[in-house]
């Protein structure tokens, strides 16, 4: 029995809107990343195309979030000390 192999083809570039959607940020934030030089873009007529390699490199440069074990929806402890009401 032969195996079926699939290959993923990475795009050369993505739109700022697609980049914003993939990172769950606003388009404005994408343009700020471009202005800061954290993403590389090219122009094709009026279109702005973000270099996919710079996009993935930026994502990989973000710090990894560590999540401590906790009980979801557990009641929070009150801070020690007096509660002062105004």
State the 10-residue block means of pLDDT for the chain, 86 residues long. 84 96 97 97 97 97 82 69 59
The whole-number pLDDT of residue 34 equals 97
Residues forming beta bridges with residue 49, ordered by sequence position:
42
Is residue 20 within 8 Å of residue 58, measured between CB atoms? Answer: no
Distance of CA 22 to the CA centre of its chain: 6
The whole-number pLDDT of residue 83 equals 60
Distance CA 17, CA 15 (A): 5
| Cα–Cα separations (whole angstroms), residue 25 to 5, 37, 48, 58, 82 | 34, 17, 17, 13, 40
Side-chain half-sphere exposure of 14, counting CA atoms within 13 A: 18
The whole-number pLDDT of residue 4 equals 87
The whole-number pLDDT of residue 65 equals 83
The whole-number pLDDT of residue 11 equals 93
Per-domain residue ranges of the chain: 13-61
């Amino acid at each position: 029995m032969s195996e079926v192999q699939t290959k993923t083809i990475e795009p050369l570039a993505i739109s700022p809107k697609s980049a914003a959607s993939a990172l769950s940020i606003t388009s404005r934030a994408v343009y700020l990343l471009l202005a800061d030089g954290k993403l590389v873009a090219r122009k094709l007529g009026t279109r702005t195309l973000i270099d996919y390699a710079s996009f993935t490199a930026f994502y990989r440069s973000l710090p990894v979030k560590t999540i401590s074990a906790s009980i979801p929806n557990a009641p929070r402890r009150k801070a020690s000390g007096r509660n002062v009401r105004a």
